Amino acid sequence: MLLSLSGISRRFPGVVANDDVSMNVAEGEIHALIGENGAGKSTLVKIVYGLVKPDSGSMKIDGEHYAPLGPTEARAAGIGMVFQHFSLFDALTVTDNIALGMDNPPPMRKLSVRTRELSKNYGLPLDSGKIAGALSAGERQRVEIVKCLLQNPRILIMDEPTSVLTPQETKTLFKTLRKLAESGVAILYISHKLKEIRALCDRATILRGGRNVGSCVPSEASIGDMAEMMVGSSLKSPVKKSRNRGKVVLEVDNLCSDADSAFGIALKQVSFKVGAGEILGIGGVAGNGQEELLAALSGETKVESNTIRLKNEPIGHLDPDARRILGLLAAPADRMGHAAAPNMTLVDNAVLTGNRRERLSSRGFINWDASSQFCQRIINAFDVRTPGTWNTAGSLSGGNLQKFVIGREILQKPDILAVNQPTWGVDAAAAAAIRQALIDLARNGSAVICISQDLDELIEISDRFGTLNRGELSDIRKTESLSTSEIGLMMGGAHGVDVAHAPA
């Protein structure tokens, strides 16, 4: 065995992150480490990488005792790690970043030559002179991978590598990983996306509550089985009942907007209608105008007043607070810093959007009792796991904060709710809860617009479905009537395939 862990335990104040975990990783194996958010996956690999010291237990590499004092020693022992939140320095160039990740880097000129060779061999194109801050998520990840590969690692740890990637980038990444595994590198792959694991990994170890609760061969196990092992109980998938579309609540007519930044996408004549009690799903690869559409709907960017009509009243010129009063609520994609202020408490965050509709203030003073009750209601209704209402939003795990952010809007009983990527980077159980909440909201007569790049999610919950490609919205079709290949074709426009010329 290349790497073996036995009896690893690690406690943090109030939490047992790892409890007597043992596992083995063989050479050339892609080994998945799966579990819900907070199951102890990240802590375990941090122990392997020398960032966290275990309270007890031991590790071996090639049968030899291995106890790193820090990342430097871990790298010397042949372990490389690509972090979940990339550890790049935005203001430095790609080459600088790569040099920083090495213990004894060659002179800069040689380094860029080696970087170029390596990125060619593994199909990881890089522009070494670029500033890291200007790179896309996929490019940033490539830098991280190249940084690790330059040190010829024997074990490569990938922490949630696909959570920020588009499907295309994910495909490229998988190709690279398979190539690496063929050359004998062991890959420890952390994820909670079971589909990806089935497609990629040779073996999987499942963690729950910090314990190793079993292992399986992903290609032979069903997704349902693995999900059950992760969650510990059978997973409830959302129940969808066909609903009748009520009166049109929101009408978007010929909505155009300029790209807000150099990398933004302009919306081109987007038109659609949403009725009461209906979920409209808008699919497509992120970065095709999704952010811009949500901003136009929420009121973050103002548009011509008549292009958006709420119950026949033009609202395009109104700011978000005015739209909230009228019943249009929104939850943007980026929960940290956009949907919620990470350094403020949950109560503060509840007041920030709930102020008007829940009447949380009067004469300019905030009513803290009412606010904290409102916050507590969100926590109870959406099973947000937090020690209390006065904890900061940033202290919550991604899934919990997402439940809070969505719950905060749903409890305000919107006439129409627009959400963008509601289950991005959220574990299976929380994602199911959020989807169910959206379905329930629609069943109670609200209209819902769900923008997501997760196709399965949209097929599961939406009544009608359209895709957004380079700022243009496709025809909107009834979801039931669509076959998978048709949906693929609708998505196609995003990858440069001209839909009109595709065979019908």
Partner 1 sequence: MTDLFSINIVVLLASLISASTPILLAATGELVAERAGVLNLGVEGMMITGAACGFIVSVHTGSPAIGFIAAAAGGTAMSALFALLTQCALANHVASGLALTLFGLGLSALLGQGYVGVKPPPTGNLELPILSDLPVLGPALFSQDIVSYLALALVIAVWLALARSRSGLILRAVGENHNAAHALGYRVVRVRVLAILFGGGCAGLGGAYISLIRVPQWTDGMTAGAGWIALAIVVFSSWKAGRVLLGAWLFGGITVLQLNLQAAGIAIPVEYLSMSPYLITILVLVILSADNSNAPASLGRIFHAPR
Which residues 457-496 are close enough to bind partner 1 by CB under 8 A? none
Is there a contact between 466 and 280 (Cβ–Cβ < 8 Å)?
Answer: yes
**Tokens representing 393?**
């939003």
Minimum Å gap between C-beta 233 and partner 1 is 32
56 binds partner 1 (CB under 8 A): no
- Please identify, among the stretches 45-53, 193-201, 214-222, 269-277, the one whose residues bind partner 1 according to the rule CB under 8 A: 45-53
Minimum Å gap between C-beta 96 and partner 1 is 6
Question: What residues does 366 pair with on adjacent strands?
Answer: 361
- Please identify, among the stretches 100-108, 320-328, 374-382, 446-454, the one whose residues bind partner 1 according to the rule CB under 8 A: 100-108
Minimum Å gap between C-beta 86 and partner 1 is 8
Is there a contact between 66 and 124 (Cβ–Cβ < 8 Å)?
Answer: no
| Neighbour-count burial for 75-102, b at 16+ CB within 10 Å, e otherwise | bebbbbbbbbebebeeeebbbbbbbebe
**Which of 28, 57, 71, 492 touches partner 1 (CB under 8 A)?**
71
CA-closest candidate to residue 272, choices 472, 490, 491: 472
Cα–Cα distance, 425 to 37 (Å, whole number):
9
**Which of 4, 24, 87, 392 touches partner 1 (CB under 8 A)?**
87
Minimum Å gap between C-beta 350 and partner 1 is 27
140 binds partner 1 (CB under 8 A): no
Is there a contact between 314 and 308 (Cβ–Cβ < 8 Å)?
Answer: yes
**Tokens representing 145?**
């991978």
Residue 284 DSSP code: S
99 binds partner 1 (CB under 8 A): yes
75 binds partner 1 (CB under 8 A): yes
CA-closest candidate to residue 264, choices 470, 419, 497, 450: 470
343 binds partner 1 (CB under 8 A): no
- Please identify, among the stretches 99-107, 119-127, 199-207, 330-338, the one whose residues bind partner 1 according to the rule CB under 8 A: 99-107
> Considering Cα of 374, then 378, then 379, then 381, what sign does the dihedral take?
positive
**Which of 7, 89, 184, 337 touches partner 1 (CB under 8 A)?**
89
Interface mask (CB under 8 A) for partner 1, residues 430-449, using x and -?
A: --------------------
Enclosing H/E stretch for 409 = helix 398-410
**Which of 90, 319, 480, 486 touches partner 1 (CB under 8 A)?**
90
**Tokens representing 371?**
């606010």
238 binds partner 1 (CB under 8 A): no
Burial class (CB in 10 A: 0-12, 13-18, 19+), 363: exposed
88 binds partner 1 (CB under 8 A): yes
**Which of 4, 28, 57, 92 touches partner 1 (CB under 8 A)?**
92
**Which of 51, 137, 223, 344 touches partner 1 (CB under 8 A)?**
51
Q: Which long-range contacts (CB under 8 A, 24 or more apart) does 492-500 make?
A: 493/467, 493/469, 494/284, 494/285, 494/288, 494/467, 494/469, 494/470, 495/168, 495/285, 499/474
Minimum Å gap between C-beta 373 and partner 1 is 33
The residue (of 71 and 287) whose beta carbon lies closer to partner 1 is 71
Binding site for partner 1 (CB under 8 A): 50-52, 70-72, 75, 83, 87-92, 96, 99-101, 105
